[in-house]
């Protein structure tokens, strides 16, 4: 039983509770997959936010796998991999897998996430 009266956990505590590495925990927090607040230089995760994440009640921050994005776009998985490596679609690498926020895919499809194409200049 958790006798801790605090309302928040640190990233280190969350990583320990989830059995994941610290760098993976920071990636998840930075991606917005788990709600967190940064106070000065310290990230704090509300206990309720972790419960919501584990229960699947955190859908605003829903993330997709590379295969789900490939299916949604109707392209091959390798195409999605290339897009992620180029930064065409915003994503976070969590361990060996990519996590693509649903909002990032929506931004890409709406054209809001695309940087303008570089203009080519020709010298005569």
Look at the block and give the residue holding tokens 């789900």. 68
- At 51-72, the pLDDT tens digits run 877 766 655 567 888 999 999 8
Mean of the per-residue pLDDT values of the chain: 82
Number of independent structural domains in the chain? 2
CATH at 32: 1.10.10
Nearest to 61 by CA among 70, 72, 52, 74: 52
Domain boundary among 20, 41, 59: 59
- At 76-119, the pLDDT tens digits run 999 999 999 998 888 888 778 888 888 888 888 888 655 555 55
Is residue 2 assigned to a domain? no
Asked if residue 81 and residue 41 are part of one domain, the reply reads no
Asked if residue 85 and residue 53 are part of one domain, the reply reads no
Contacts of 55 (CB under 8 A, 6+ apart): none
- At 35-51, the pLDDT tens digits run 888 888 899 999 988 88
Q: Which two tokens stand for residue 87?
A: 């930064």
Asked if residue 66 and residue 103 are part of one domain, the reply reads yes
Alpha-carbon distance 106 to 99, whole Å? 14
Is residue 120 assigned to a domain? no
Alpha-carbon distance 89 to 18, whole Å? 28
Residue 12 has what pLDDT? Answer: 95
Higher-scoring residue by pLDDT: 90, 120: 90
Higher-scoring residue by pLDDT: 74, 56: 74
Asked if residue 66 and residue 54 are part of one domain, the reply reads no
Range of the domain at 25: 8-59
Residue 1 has what pLDDT? Answer: 46
Is residue 118 assigned to a domain? no
Asked if residue 75 and residue 90 are part of one domain, the reply reads yes
């Amino acid at each position: 039983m958790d006798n801790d009266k605090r309302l928040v956990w640190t990233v280190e505590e969350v990583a320990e509770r989830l059995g994941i590495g610290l760098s993976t925990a920071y990636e998840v927090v930075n991606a917005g997959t788990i709600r967190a607040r940064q106070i000065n230089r310290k990230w704090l995760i509300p206990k309720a936010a972790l419960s919501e994440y584990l229960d699947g009640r955190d859908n605003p921050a829903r993330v997709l796998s590379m295969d789900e994005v490939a299916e949604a776009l109707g392209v091959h998985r390798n195409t999605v991999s290339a897009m992620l490596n180029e930064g065409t679609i915003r994503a976070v690498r969590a361990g060996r897998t990519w996590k693509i926020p649903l909002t990032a895919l929506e931004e890409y499809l709406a054209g809001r996430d695309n940087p303008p194409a570089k203009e080519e200049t020709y010298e005569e």
